[in-house]
């Protein structure tokens, strides 16, 4: 998922011509893709910050137990149940806003990290040796 897909997601979820039930289904798909993505969250423990959005958005205070973070699919089922139990339109919009904002922040940080990695590759030992070899 990249920043363009996040913008398309936001546009779709705020479109007035799409029914609430269709938005909810699209949102479920987006949350599923996000939780199962190992590019956004390489380790299951990295999901805690993202899952906290849903825990805080719940009507009663909920904190998922640590054993749920062993399995992404188990964690996903709990999050989707939490969202589907929250049928109020305003709370759904809060979940959507939190989801989109989190993805924007996370993906912009990832793109900055990719730039740093690419910059480091330019300054690697191998590139130094290659440039010396070309000069000789």
pLDDT band at 116 (very low <50, low <70, confident <90, very high): very low
Q: What is the mean pLDDT of residues 99-119?
A: 67
Helices (H) and strands (E) in the chain, counts: 6, 0
**pLDDT tens figures, 48-66:** 999 998 888 776 778 889 9
Question: Does residue 123 carry a pLDDT above 60?
Answer: no
The DSSP code for 70 is G
Integer Cα distance of 97 and 84 in angstroms:
16
Taking the model in full, what pTM does it have? 0.71
Question: Does residue 47 carry a pLDDT above 50?
Answer: yes
Return the beta strands (E) in the chain as ranges: none
Tokens of 11: 């546009």
The pLDDT of residue 44 is 93
Averaged pLDDT of the chain: 78
Q: Give the largest CA-CA distance in the chain.
A: 71
């Amino acid at each position: 998922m990249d920043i363009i897909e996040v913008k398309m997601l936001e546009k779709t979820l705020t479109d007035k011509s799409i029914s609430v039930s269709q938005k909810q289904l699209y949102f479920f798909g987006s949350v599923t893709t996000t939780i199962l993505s190992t590019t956004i969250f390489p380790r299951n423990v990295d999901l805690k910050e993202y899952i906290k959005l849903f825990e805080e958005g719940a009507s009663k205070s909920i904190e998922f137990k640590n054993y749920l973070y062993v399995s992404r699919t188990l964690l996903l089922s709990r999050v989707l149940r939490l969202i589907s139990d929250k049928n109020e339109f305003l709370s759904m919009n809060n979940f959507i806003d939190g989801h989109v904002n989190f993805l924007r922040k996370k993906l912009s940080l990832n793109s900055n990290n990719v730039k740093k990695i690419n910059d480091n590759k330019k300054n690697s030992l191998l590139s130094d040796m290659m440039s010396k070899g070309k000069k000789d």
